[in-house]
Structure 1
Amino acid sequence: MIGLREVLVAPRKIADLTAHLQPGQERMLAAGSMRHHPERTIWHVNSTEHGGGVAEMLRPMVGYSRALGLPVRWLVLDAPPEFFEITKRIDNGISGVCGDGGPLGYAEHEVYQSVLARAAAVLEEHVSPGDQVFLHDPQTAGLVGYVRRAGAVPVWRAHNGADEPNQHTGVAWEFLRAYLRDAHALVFTLPHFAPAWHKSLASAVIPPFIDPASPKNQPMSERVALSVLARCDLIDAEPSAPPVFTRFDGTTATAELRPTVVREGRPPSPDSPLVLQVSRWDAVKDMPGVMLGFAEHVAPRSDATLMLVGPEVTGVADDPEAAQVFDDCVKMWRALDMETRSRIQLVCLPMADPDVNAAVVNALQRHATVIVQKSLSEGFGLTATEAMWKAKPLVTSAVGGLRFQVPDLSVGTALTDPLDLRAFGNAVTRYLADPANSRTVGERARARVAEQFLPDTHLLAELALLRDLSEMVLR
């Protein structure tokens, strides 16, 4: 099935957001939304409704925007596996990594253009002249020309990027360049993610955000978190509170699912310190490196356990590499000695109910002692933002947006070399051994997120860009 389908999102309670805002931000948000032309629909187009940071941002962005009276809508691209294999290759390339090493030549352009030409026929039924269209990531870059020919304003957004250009970034950006030349503007997560040729187009830098009221980030007590994890057989405990949470639509639900778990014996005790990484099963997230760093440099010096958590390997439509990465992790786990294996769990969370999935991740992050995100490359790293929001000590890599989020030791540890497993182990064990410092670092990290990485800042930046583009178009 090739095409575009609309994701319907109900308006969010704006009070759920404003309760977390800095003084004056609520007034700025209301004023900014009132300045948007009510007859110009703002569209967001991406390639998955569930799974990954873009989808997690779009749902609250659309919901809060609608609550503010903004005409914002969301379309998702459906495409065959061979299309997503190509776009994953491009995405890896602009992130500076090799990926599957496959070509990006004439045949790949043919597949890419064929799929997006068919999707464009559906897009043109939705978009009207004067509308403003955010196209997200490589999967949608080929729609730029169609949007412009429809009389609308195309803005293409790259959520990933590389700290330094290399042969992989060169090939990937060259593939995209011809499709992007008609964009009214390009948006990047960080300034240095942009290719050298972007200066011929208008551009902006807008960091991502987390939604503090979402099932993944809403408040959750330790008792509820333990009950959720016990019901999911991830912690060896008896539930002591109802494992409930508030869904995205405002209704109450039970957080319970049946994950796929690879482990030896029983789940860890609730009293066992937990080191946690939550991410896609993606090579650049370096789940195997986290496992090896824990086995060699954390397990011998602590009584902590490690949990590596990702979505079920078929749960994210535009990520065809997940099964292979997970299989590689299982092989590495099996090669460890039994005592070390007994302290490591590999967990795949079902995606059938995204709200329940998010609530279980919330429980894991709330219960964790130390959260890590040891990526080799990272556009931004919303799982790091989530950890900071929950006031957890964070060990991450000084790459991409992670370096921007954790600029110094006051809010976490960013490893200069993500491949240095000894440094990784030292950072984790320091937090495990010093709960008082961990609390202080976590509290400062939460304050940083409240100031810079909530939806209000993001929405105001997008509206400002669209106003500027409208003025340019009218000249």
Structure 2
Amino acid sequence: MTQLTNASEVVEEMPVAGAPVVRVQQPEHSTPSVKTPLTAFIGLESSDNGVTLVELVGDSVLTETRQLSGNVGEELSAWLSELVAQRHQQIIAAAIRKDDTLAHLFSRLWLKEDIVPFIIAAPREEPLEKLVREVAANFDAQNVVQIPLSLSQEVGVADLVTLDDYRAVTVLQDFALLSRLVQAFQGKRLVFVNATPRGGGVALMRHALIRLLRLMNVDAHWYVLVPNAEVFDITKRKFHNVLQAVAAPDVVLTDEDKAVFNAWSAENAHLLHDVFKQADVLVIDDPQPAGLIPYIKQANPHAHIIYRSHIQIVSSLASQPGTPQNITWEFLWQTIKDADYFVSHPMSMFVPKNVPDDKVLYMPATTDPLDGLNKELSEEQMEHYLHFFNEILEREGQTPLDLTRPYIVQIARFDPSKGIPDVLEAYRRLCIMLQERQQPVPQLVIAGNGSVDDPDGVPIFNHVQELLRSDLYAALASDVKVARLPHRDQLLNTLLRKSSVVLQLSTKEGFEVKVTEALMKGKPVVAYHVGGIPLQIVNGVNGHLVEVGNTVQVAQHIYDLLTDTSLYERMSMAAVELAGKDYLTVPNAICWLYLALTLLKNERLEGRFRWVAELARKEWSGVADEEEGEDQMQCA
């Protein structure tokens, strides 16, 4: 547990608002000024003369060749660490030719050195410097990589790790089961369609899933829709927010909205026509691509369709005639009803009553243990990301995060359902409790990514800033760090790893796998008892579940964790031990291949709200056990 440092506050009563305000006296020390690391891109090449490294920093190029003997991977790591330390750099990405003997080290570059590998099919005659410049051109000014899209909107997924890397972090029985399902699926094509290639949990899951399936030679593809700001405003405010019941009562889907959405669906269907014809099974992620379903049926009557709902639908309102939720849902159901399965987060209250029970199956959201959000990071690497975070804060006119003091954190999109005002109120109450007991005060970090299909981000961010300028919170504002972050997953990873306590005060939620990501890092989570969050937290063991709006109880739980070291250590250990193993990429792949195979064999499941992973393990457990035994015999 991070030890709290000294700070003092004075509580003053506000006679007008009637709520106490904490006046925080800042500690004398602050974050020391540290020079920002230089951004570098490298190329690696082996030859008879040794290993050549070409380094690009800005427009300057340095070339060095060394003889590496013995363990090339270890020696290369030492060389790169030397460069980073001596030249105060952060190496962002590396170019390696596909046929180079160093190409097999690509996953080491990612997992150990935090360098994005680019394995490039290029002839030896092409200068290594040119390859490095091409790699650097894939990154923007904040070193966020551009996600490649084909003309048909297929998403290019990065090769970051090997199959052995996944095998090392997976339960043996699950890996054997997945291997068997992969073998049975050979010769068939699986296609996923969603709104965007970046931003939000769906895109993160698809990157990891497609990466794994491709490693196992599954013919799997992922396509996204053509972005349209007008449509995304409709799908966010009048689909997503309305179905979650977080929109204002007067926000209602109109006939004009429906016409705009239908025209956009037709445009995307035309673009994806050949994709539909070649697919055996298609997965439609959330309402945005739901309008494609009739076009899929028309282009390929033999294709099977699975609809995956990732959001909390307030089914009681969606099933009540005349409500905004019912108007939206009935419009969407006109197309979704033709899907073979309706896959939901494991909460029956998320499923509208007109969805037939035999179509309903359960799958949780998942996260990937090897991606930027979850892989291990060294202290030096995390230091780089924390200073990058402070650069973002300073550009926004905020004081930097004091790296010598602890902080609590909520990582989430700036969305009406994420309960950010409650986070501020719980923090205010925590500060009062700590002052009354003469305890030091931690900082608060509220941060998350944006998404192209989410127009709520900026208004909610601005609203939080307005709250911090109000009389109730102004005295705390300098200790509250609020940031919309670029899509560098290691930054979120770092903020979670270096935090003391993690909050997730969503008032409405589908699953929010950020809870599992925090638990995997040994962080106790204090969260509201909504959606799929209770499936991830054992109340009082690895975190706390609180009823929505009870910020007093939230503050008390945070206080206990910050001031009781033995309690914190017990919960931290339990967090790691109990983090859901079914909420990872391999079980996710098992579920999708199992569902696809049942449809291809014309053995459509009777869903009835059953967990797909349990069905897959029950049906295929004998095969998986046999393979496990064979593997053990071969090892012996």
TM-score, normalised on structure 2? 0.66
1:473 and 1:150 mapped to 2: Cα distance? 23
**Inter-partner Cα distance in structure 1 for 2:337 and 2:265:** 16
Matched, 1:176 2:310: no
CA distance in 2, matches of 1:149, 1:13: 39
SS at match of 1:472: coil
Aligned to 2:497: 366
- Residue by residue over 1:220-251, the C-alpha shift from the partner in whole angstroms, topping out at 9 and shown as x without a partner, is 234532342024326xxxxxxxxxxxxxxxxx
* Equivalenced residues, count: 439
Q: Distance in 1 between matches of 2:599 and 2:251?
A: 37
Residue 356 of structure 2 aligns to a residue whose secondary structure is: helix
Question: Does the aligned pair in 2 maintain the 1:298–1:429 contact within 8 Å?
Answer: no
For 1:99 and 1:4, how far apart are their aligned partners in 2?
A: 37
The equivalent residue for 2:359 is 202
C-alpha change, 1:222 and 1:261, in structure 2 (3 Å) is: farther
Contact 1:42 1:132 in 2 (8 A): yes
Give the C-alpha shift of residue 347 in structure 1.
1.3
Evaluate the alpha carbon distance shift between residue 258 and residue 274 of structure 1 in structure 2; reply closer, same or farther with a 3 A threshold: closer
Q: Secondary structure at the match of 2:282?
A: strand
Shift of 1:385: 1.6
Match of 2:479 in 1: 343
For 2:510, the equivalent position in structure 1 comes to 379
Partner of 1:77: 225
Query: 2:568 maps to what in 1?
Result: 438
* Residue pairs, 1:35-114, within 5 angstroms: 35-38=184-187, 40-88=188-236, 89-98=238-247, 101-114=250-263
Structure 2 residue 285 is the aligned partner of structure 1 residue 136: yes
* 1:258-407 map, 5 Å: 260-261=395-396, 263=398, 265=399, 267-298=400-431, 300-301=433-434, 302-311=440-449, 315-335=450-470, 336=472, 338-350=474-486, 354=487, 357-407=488-538
Give the drift of 1:337.
5.2
Q: 2:94 — aligned with what? A: none
Q: 1:284 to 1:32 in 2, by over 3 A?
A: same
Distance 1:93 1:380 in 2: 18
Contact 1:183-1:201 within 8 A present in 2 as well: no
Deviates more, 1:299-308 or 1:142-151: 299-308
| Corresponding residue of 1:456 | 586
Task: Provide the residue aligned with 1:230 in structure 2.
Answer: 387
| Larger CA deviation: 12-21 vs 105-114 | 12-21
Alignment check: 8 A CA contact 2:252 2:327 kept? no
Matched residue SS, 2:402? coil
CA RMSD between the two structures: 2.3
| Percent identical residues | 25
| Contact 1:44-1:134 at 8 Å conserved across structures | yes
CA contact (8 A) 1:375 1:396 kept: yes
Counterpart-to-counterpart distance in 2, 1:292 and 1:4: 47
Contact 2:444-2:479 at 8 Å conserved across structures: yes
Give, in whole Å, the separation in 2 of the partners of 1:161 and 1:33: 31
Kept in 2: contact 1:6–1:75 (CA 8 A) = yes
- Cα displacement (A) at 1:288: 1.9
Relative to structure 1, the CA distance from residue 402 to residue 283 in structure 2 (aligned partners, 3 Å threshold; closer, same or farther) is same
- Structure 1 Cα separation of the partners of residues 269 and 279 of structure 2: 17
Alignment CA distance shift 1:175-1:343 (3 Å): same
Q: CA 1:429 to 1:287, structure 2 compared with 1: closer, same or farther past 3 Å?
A: same
* CA–CA distance in structure 2, aligned partners of residues 87 and 31 of structure 1: 38
If the length of structure 1 is used for normalisation, what is the TM-score? 0.87
5+ residue gaps, structure 1:
235-256
Q: Which amino acid aligns with 1:342?
A: S
Aligned partners of 1:226 and 1:367 also within 8 Å: no
Residue range with higher mean Cα deviation, 89-98 or 418-427: 89-98
In 1, distance between residues paired with 2:393 and 2:556?
34
Decide whether aligned partners of structure 1 residues 221 and 364 sit closer, same or farther in structure 2, where only a CA change above 3 A counts.
Answer: same
Q: What letter is aligned with 2:465?
A: V
| 8 A Cα contact 2:468 2:474, kept in partner | no
Matches within 5 A, 1:113-132: 113-128=262-277, 131-132=280-281
Deviates more, 1:112-121 or 1:460-469: 460-469
The answer to whether residue 178 in structure 2 is matched with residue 26 in structure 1 is no
Q: Deviations over 1:51-74 (max 9, x none)?
A: 100001000100000101111111
Query: Relative to 1, partners in 2 of residues 1:100 and 1:306: Cα closer, same or farther, differing over 3 Å?
Result: farther
Residue type of the alignment partner of 2:276: V
Residue 474 to residue 318, structure 1, CA distance change in 2 (3 Å): closer
1:192-211 Cα distance to aligned partner (Å, 9 max, x none): 11111111662321111110
CA 1:96 to 1:343, structure 2 compared with 1: closer, same or farther past 3 Å?
Answer: same
Amino acid paired to 1:449? A
Taking the aligned partners of 1:451 and 1:473, their CA distance within structure 2 comes to 28
Pairing of 1:158-173 with structure 2 (within 5 A): 158-162=309-313, 165-166=316-317, 167-173=323-329
In structure 2, how many angstroms separate the alpha carbons of the residues matched to 1:330 and 1:197? Answer: 41
Q: Which residue of 2 is the match for residue 447 of structure 1?
A: 577
State the alpha-carbon separation in 1 of the partners of residues 502 and 250 from structure 2. Answer: 31
Check whether the contact 1:42–1:72 (CA below 8 A) recurs between aligned residues: yes
How far off its partner does 1:32 sit?
1.7
Offset, 1:128: 2.5
Which of 546, 554, 578 aligns to 1:424? It is 554
CA deviation after TM superposition for structure 1 residue 421, in Å: 1.2
User: Could you say if the C-alpha distance between residues 79 and 421 of structure 1 is closer, same or farther in structure 2, counting changes exceeding 3 Å?
Assistant: same
The letter of the residue matching 2:355 is H
C-alpha separation in 2, matches of 1:104 and 1:138? 13
Using the TM superposition, give the Cα deviation of residue 177 of structure 1 relative to its aligned residue in structure 2, in angstroms. Answer: 0.9
Distance in 1, Cα, partners of 2:418 & 2:253: 23
**Paired residue for 2:137?**
none
Deviation at 1:321, TM superposition (A): 1.1
Please, which runs of 5 or more residues in structure 2 have no aligned partner?
1-150, 318-322, 435-439, 606-636
DSSP-derived class of the 1:127 partner? helix
| Greater shift in the superposed pair: 68-77 or 287-296 | 287-296
Deviation at 1:143, TM superposition (A): 0.8
1:222–1:366 contact (8 Å) kept in structure 2:
no
Tell me if 1:149 matches 2:298.
yes
Asked whether the 8 Å contact 1:276–1:308 carries over to 2, the reply is yes
The answer as to whether partners of 1:43 and 1:133 remain within 8 angstroms in 2 is: yes
